[in-house]
Each structure stands twice: as structure tokens, then as C-alpha cells.
Amino acid sequence: MSKPIYTSSADAEAAFYDALARSDLDKMMSVWAEDDEVVCIHPGGPRLVGLAGIREIWRQMMGNGVRLGVEVSQAVVTGNALMAVHSVFERISIDEARRRSPLIAATNVYLRGALGWRMVMHHASPVPEGNPVADLAPRIVH
Amino acid sequence: MSKPIYTSSADAEAAFYDALARSDLDKMMSVWAEDDEVVCIHPGGPRLVGLAGIREIWRQMMGNGVRLGVEVSQAVVTGNALMAVHSVFERISIDEARRRSPLIAATNVYLRGALGWRMVMHHASPVPEGNPVADLAPRIVH
């Protein structure tokens, strides 16, 4: 089965979070670039470099076919014609758990290549509840 | 005073860590792109968006002119002609503190524009000691 071609970083990101919510490992890996230097860091986890390790961690996370609740919000996007950086907040909840899941900041970087837009970096880490967006100076509220 | 032009992402990254070690706020800010969507996340801290907030957090960190020990290691770099993603490990130690500082994974993203290479993202978070690089499968050791 040939991999889908994502025609924008937004398409690739939608596929990434859909794959996560559905525990769809093949779809998840279709989002990643076939590059030795792809990097994935889960909250509190080690740095994973390369597709084999990244596939393995997702396989472990998805292995039991769990359905996840995935909320993505407050995207800040920058980039150019060949790359995009998406900064988002995530809340990932397991199955029907009603308790509030921790707030995670994720940095997702996509490159545009011959096969469309693909992820080269996912870096996720917890941010403080209550003040996830900095409130250091009035000027930064925009 | 005009800002320096960094001719590669490696130059920009060297300036970033040199500015951090010297608590040189002007040099630090010379590394950042003049873009509303620049993002900075310090370990355990909130997401900062925009130059004003980013400058303010660095000013607070550097305000007392502290000299920092900065060790950067194990860079993994990917990108293309217009952007670069650097994944590195950092150890930042304060003054002459001899105790071992926590190991931090940092994602640094640079864009190439008319004024050279500039940082658009710094996302830093702690990684586990002892196993910072994943050891999930033999294939990923390369």
C-alpha cells in the first residue's frame, strides 16, 4: 500500500492526531519522513532518533488498541514554502477516563519533500496548568 | 547597532549558547527571528509566543549577570536550504555549582531569511538520566 501524500503541513498534522486517536500505527508512521534524523520526544521520555525507535514507541503506546481522546488547541504556526513549525497544546485522555489529563505543549516540525509534507520532529512536554501561555508582559498578549 | 547575520544554522546556534553562557541578552535576542510566531518553552515553564515575552523571560534569567556553564552535546540536525531543526542535549549549571545539573533535550528550529539564519523555536524539557537516548530496539543504535 502506498503511503498517502499530505499536501500541506496542516494535512500532515491532522493525520498525525487522527492516527493517535485511533491507535492506527500505519497511519501514524505514514506521517513521518523517511529520514535517519527524525526525532520524537514524548513527555518525560527519552529522545528517540530514527524511524525504527519511533515506530516502536508508538507501537507500545498503541499496542492494546486503546482509543484516545485527543484535543489539540492554540496552534501557533510559522515556516516557509519548504517547512513548517506547529506549536500546539495537547490533552490526551485514555478511553473513558473522566479525569482531566495533563496539558502538553507539542512542537511538530514538517518538511516538504518529493512525497509531500512529512513530520521530522515531535517534541512534547508538560506545561503548567492555569498559566500555559506566558503572562509576563501585557505586550505579549496578542 | 545592527544585528549580526548568521550564515548558517550552526552559527546561529553557537551564538545562542554563547549568549546564554555569558548572560548577554542583546546577543541572545539577535539570534531570534523578528516574527510574531516565535515560540520559546523553558523546562517546566509556560509557552512564550512573540519576541516581547521571550525577551522578558531571558532578561529575568540573565538579569543578575550570572555566568552559566553550558554543555551542548549529541546534536541531531535535519532540514533543507531554508530551515534547520537541531535536537541537542543541554546541561546548564549555575556559576561554580558542582552538582550535576539536569539533562535537558532542546529542539531548536532556525529559518533562513533575508537577514540570515534566525531561531523561531526553542523547546526545552527534561529527559531521563541514564537513558536519554532511547534503547528500544537494536536497530535504532546508529
DSSP string, A3-45: PP-BSSHHHHHHHHHHHHHHT-HHHHHHHB-S-TT-EEE-TT-
* pTM of this structure: 0.90
Whether residue B87 lies inside any domain: the answer is yes
Grouping H, G, I as helix, E, B as strand and the rest as coil, residue B20 is helix
Start-to-end Cα distance in chain A = 44
- Domain span holding position A114: 9-128
Are residues A139 and B45, on separate chains, in Cβ contact within 8 Å?
no
Give residue-wise pLDDT tens across range B85-103: 999 999 998 765 556 689 9
Whether residue A91 lies inside any domain: the answer is yes
Query: Is residue A96 less than 8 Å (CB to CB) from chain B?
Result: no
Contacts of A88 in chain B (CB under 8 A): none
Are residues B105 and A53, on separate chains, in Cβ contact within 8 Å?
no
DSSP bridge partners of A118? A111
Whether residue B140 lies inside any domain: the answer is no
Would you write out chain A's pLDDT as a tens digit for each of its 142 residues? 578 999 999 999 999 999 999 999 999 999 999 999 999 999 999 999 999 999 999 999 887 777 888 999 999 999 999 999 999 999 998 765 556 689 999 999 999 999 999 999 999 999 998 755 554 443 333 3
User: Looking at the predicted complex, does its ipTM rise above 0.85?
Assistant: yes
Name the CA dihedral angle for A36, B73, B129, B99, rounded to a multiple of 10 degrees.
Answer: 180
**% pLDDT > 70, chain B:** 86
CA dist A17 and B118 (Å) reads 29
Whether residue B42 lies inside any domain: the answer is yes
In this predicted structure, the answer to whether residue B119 has a pLDDT above a threshold of 80 is: yes
- What total of structural domains would you count in chain B? 1
Question: Torsions phi, psi of A134, nearest 5?
Answer: -60, 150
> Which CATH number does the domain housing residue A25 bear?
3.10.450.50
Give which of B44, B36, B134, B98 is closest to A52, Cα–Cα. Answer: B134
CA dist B42 and B46 (Å) reads 7
Please state the rounded mean pLDDT for residues B28-33. Answer: 97
Nearest CA in chain A to B133: A47
Query: Is residue A133 less than 8 Å (CB to CB) from chain B?
Result: yes
Query: Is residue B73 less than 8 Å (CB to CB) from chain A?
Result: no
- In this predicted structure, what is the pLDDT of residue A63? 78
Higher pLDDT, A96 or B19: B19
Whether residue A83 lies inside any domain: the answer is yes
Whether residue B133 lies inside any domain: the answer is no
DSSP class of residue B32?
B
Is B25 in contact with B15 (CB distance < 8 Å)?
no
Query: Is residue A1 less than 8 Å (CB to CB) from chain B?
Result: no
- In this predicted structure, what is the pLDDT of residue A64? 72
Are residues A50 and B139, on separate chains, in Cβ contact within 8 Å?
yes
Nearest CA in chain A to B81: A82
Give residue-wise pLDDT tens across range B44-65: 999 999 999 999 999 998 877 7
* Residues 38-57 of chain A whose Cβ lies under 8 A from any Cβ of chain B: 38-39, 41, 43-50, 52-53, 56-57
CA dist B126 and A63 (Å) reads 26
- In this predicted structure, what is the pLDDT of residue A131? 58
Contacts of B121 in chain A (CB under 8 A): 78, 85, 87, 107, 109
**% pLDDT > 90, chain B:** 74
